Every structure is written in C-alpha cells, then in structure tokens.
Amino acid sequence: RWRKHPANPVLDLKLHGDLSIRDWRDPFVFRHDGQAYLVCGGNVREDRQYGAVNVYRAESGDLTRWKHLGVLFKHPDPRVRNIECPNFFRLGDRWVLIISPHGPTECFTGSLDLATWKFTPSWRAVLDAGNMYAPNCYDDSRGRKLMWGWINGFQGGHGWNGCMTFPRVLSVEPACALR
C-alpha cells in the first residue's frame, strides 16, 4: 500500500536556489558510503538550456528531506536539451551513468569528485542502438548489477505499448567498455 506522505512533495524547486531547473524527472536512488543519494534527469538553463543530471543527498533516514548537491553531469552534446531516466552507480572501480536523452540510451563511465559531486566521463557509448529506452538498474542478492529497459516501436492497436527487456548483468571491462 502506498500512502501520500504528509510532507509531500518531498522534492521541490526551492531545493535548487537560484539554479534555473526547467524540467526534472525520473528519480534514481543509490547508496554510497552508507548514505542515500538521488539523481534526477532534466535540464538546466544558464546561457542556454542543456540536458543535465542533478544530484541530491538524503538529509533524513526516511528519505523525506533532501539537499541539492549540484549538477552532477551536463551532456556534452549541445543538441541534447533534456535527459530522462538517469541511473548512476559505482561498478568496479568506475562510476557509471546511464541516460535516455530522447534518443538511443547512452552510457558514460568515469570518475566522481566526492568533494564537488561532479562526474567526469572518460568513456561514452550508445548502450543499445535498438528501441530500448528508459532502463533501470538494481543490485540482486548475489551482488550483481542488473539492468532492464522498455522496448517500444511495436505496431499499434494491441491495447499495450511496449514491453520490458530481459535483465542484463552489467560489468565494466578493463578498457572501460560496458557490456
């Protein structure tokens, strides 16, 4: 059963101060060093609008109070105006960011500066060149990182729109390639 929290919404635009957030969506919660964090996709407007991922830290154990830590990632392609469904996690000795930028799902691996919460990618690739979109990841009971996504592009008229993929086990190769 889900009940609306009395402090709803637990995330609102006031968290960002003067930062101009035009769109934010698709929260993904992860843990690092015993602390809960959350990333949201969307965009930020400065001199122009760019696709971005913001990062937040839980300020309460029940995840009802959050602090905005800043813009974790700005998409390097200026044509990407919005990011959906970010997943951010540590895999081996690298940090991994998976995003859906209104096109093929992309993957970045790199490093994270924990003092500034800035992610610096060192490798970028299209994760799935087909119709998979909006993936999500979790850790299974065996400690593996599993990912599944939504597949669209089916002919209409069936009373449904898309289906989920089979889970994939993620790993990072020594050459930084995510498979």
Q: Chain-wide mean pLDDT for the chain?
A: 91
Rounded to a whole number, what is the distance in angstroms from the first to the last CA of the chain?
36
pLDDT value for 177: 46
Distance between CA atoms of 111 and 173, rounded to whole angstroms?
A: 15
Mean pLDDT on 131-151:
94
Distance between CA atoms of 70 and 55, rounded to whole angstroms?
A: 6
Q: What percentage of the chain reaches a pLDDT higher than 90?
A: 65
Distance between CA atoms of 67 and 80, rounded to whole angstroms?
A: 26
pTM attached to this predicted model:
0.91
Contact call for residues 110 and 125 (beta carbons, < 8 A): no
Distance between CA atoms of 132 and 77, rounded to whole angstroms?
A: 21
Strand duo 84-91 + 66-74: pairing: unpaired
Q: Which residues pair with 142 in a beta bridge?
A: none
pLDDT of 69-120, one tens digit each?
999 999 999 999 999 999 999 998 899 999 999 889 999 999 999 999 999 9
pLDDT at residue 126 tops 60 = yes
